[in-house]
Structure 1
Amino acid sequence: MIEIDGSEGEGGGQVVRNSCALSLVTGRPFRITNVRGGRSKPGLMRQHVTAVEAATRIGGAEVSGAAVGSATLEFRPGAVQPGEYRFAVGTAGSTGLVLQTVLMPLALADRPSRLVLEGGTHNMLAPPFDFIERTFLPVINRMGPKVEARLVRHGFYPRGGGRIEVDITPAPLAPLECIDSGELAGGSAQVLFTGLPFEIAERMIARLRKELPEWPEDAFVVRELPADQGPGVILMIEARKAHVTEIASGFGQLGVPAERLAKTAASRLKGYVASQAFAGPYLADQLVLPFALASSGAFTTVKPTGHLITAVELAQRFLGKPIILEQEPCGRHLVRFA
């Protein structure tokens, strides 16, 4: 039984998700105490419970403590059973983070699976669907498994109600060396909004044009969604490089001016492009699981986040293999898997 203090490191839901995924692949049980102890509202929230329930169903696991507010979680995995599954968060909790929990176990199974995930698709503190589809999954598909994701309906915070469908064709994970991102091949910016004044989206795009003056006029797009899919607004800026696509996003929030949101997102994207790193901060922590399970390979990233460091530490505990994190002379960081 692996004992984990959920207040250490990143101190949030990532500890729960990655532990479930690693447990299903390795067959090693775990117990987490102080679940999400690093958060202002500790304990499991609805989306974390859904992630645990998903891992339990696909892996025939025995679980205790899988309830909203629970501070202790014990998980004993069984054998992973691929197939067709539907998981509904029931709130605007992230469908992408539920997918993160079950993807690697199903990608290493002995036959295909199909998932229907309902909840939030574009919400704060989680990667939007577009990031999963165009940034994360292309790397997974290069490693052997084939994963196709489709957005059926958008789901914004707080209403949720979104739906994504995912088809997984498993295969062994082949190691990758993702060192250089390559030259910038193009970029685009999109504002999705629903149930809010059009003027908010216009202000975001206007500020982006000032922040990215070298981008052509047709790189900036505003798209209004049906009113029943909101209210909500998200800005996504995409940088397409030779070997990877990065998406920086900003979610509309009460009290945060549209111009400030656009400026912050543009600054993050420009910082990533200038770094020459393969993975941005959000892609980096998501790559730890597949790269660690491939038992070899490497990728470069920007300054390590708490999420990345926590993901590395958990993978080492479950797999018993070293993962090296070091800064290169150019300033980017190398993550190498033994």
Structure 2
Amino acid sequence: MAPQIDYTATVFKPIAEKFGFKFNCDIKMRGYYPRGGGEVIVQVSPVKQLNPISITERGSVTKISGRAFVAGALPFKVAKEMAAAAVRCLRKEFRDLYVNIQPVQEPRDHAFGNGSGIIVVAETSTGCLLAGSALGKRGVNADKVGIDAAEMLLANLRHGGAVDEYLQDQLIIFMALANGVSRIKTGPVTLHTQTAIHFAEQLAKAKFTVKKSEEEGDASKDAYIIECQGIAMTNPNL
């Protein structure tokens, strides 16, 4: 399952902007499977080159927030049940941390069709963002949807990486094009990431290395360091 547009706006955007570019992601209309109908306007400010990044120190979790939404004919109580279940699950692991997951009824003029889902995002002391998400399905209890999102976030935190399973592959192309060496610390390297690395090396001629993290405390964790010597691609129009 691909991450929701809220993931793009709240997790991908602030991390991707570390490469030195800015973009706006304006959600005009939300759409849901299978009817679709969503509309997003993205505006990007061009840059001469991308800066390399280093995201290897996760730090400690300082905040967990999120949103549980329903749209169309689905009752608001479904959003509240998803949020409550996710909070209960997360508080078992983070007893002293305030977990703020807001239930939301999407306005009818900003959502096309029926849909429900939840995203939970953990912020850390070093500025890392990791997330878990889930979508509602017919016949699936709202509690289970909330718990699935919380468990995904917890799994992304347990491996010790500084980026989650979705962000790791989304950063590969930017690492390949950047001017210098980029490094990110991940959990288990996904097939999407392996594929992204393969094509970045084939098309951009960038050089990647993937190795098990040897940092103190990582011996028992499934953490990896992905490093790339970028090709320093230059925008000829600037």
TM more than 0.5:
yes
Q: Structure with the greater relative contact order (CA < 8 A, sep ≥ 6): 1 or 2?
A: 2
Contact 1:328 1:334 in 2 (8 A): yes
User: Which residue identity lines up with residue 197 of structure 1 in the other structure?
Assistant: P
User: Which residue identity lines up with residue 193 of structure 1 in the other structure?
Assistant: V
Q: Determine the C-alpha separation between the residues in 2 that align with 1:247 and 1:267.
A: 10
Report the CA distance between 1:181 and its aligned residue: 2.2
Equivalent in the alignment of 1:296 = 181
Q: Determine the C-alpha separation between the residues in 1 that align with 2:87 and 2:17.
A: 33
The yes-or-no answer on 1:189 pairing with 2:66 is yes
Equivalent in the alignment of 2:170 = 286
Report the CA distance between 1:254 and its aligned residue: 1.7
Report the CA distance between 1:262 and its aligned residue: 1.7
Equivalent in the alignment of 1:211 = 89
Equivalent in the alignment of 2:232 = none
User: Which residue identity lines up with residue 249 of structure 1 in the other structure?
Assistant: S
Contact 2:133 2:148 in 1 (8 A): no
Q: Determine the C-alpha separation between the residues in 2 that align with 1:292 and 1:251.
A: 32
5+ long unaligned stretches in structure 2: 230-238
Instruction: Please show how residues 34-45 of structure 1 align to structure 2 within 5 Å.
Output: none
State the aligned residue count: 213
Contact 1:131 1:246 in 2 (8 A): no
User: 1:48-90 CA distances to partner (integer Å, 9 max, x unpaired)?
Assistant: xxxxxxxxxxxxxxxxxxxxxxxxxxxxxxxxxxxxxxxxxxx
Q: CA RMSD in A?
A: 1.7
User: 1:230-274 CA distances to partner (integer Å, 9 max, x unpaired)?
Assistant: 300011111112322222110011232222222221111112223
Q: Determine the C-alpha separation between the residues in 2 that align with 1:312 and 1:291.
A: 10
Aligned with 2:40: secondary structure? strand
Instruction: Please show how residues 86-97 of structure 1 align to structure 2 within 5 Å.
Output: none
Equivalent in the alignment of 1:310 = 195
The yes-or-no answer on 1:131 pairing with 2:12 is no
Contact 2:117 2:145 in 1 (8 A): no
Instruction: Please show how residues 218-229 of structure 1 align to structure 2 within 5 Å.
Output: 219-227=100-108, 229=111
User: Which residue identity lines up with residue 266 of structure 1 in the other structure?
Assistant: A
Instruction: Please show how residues 159-178 of structure 1 align to structure 2 within 5 Å.
Output: 159-171=35-47, 172-178=49-55
Give the TM-score taking structure 2 as reference length: 0.83
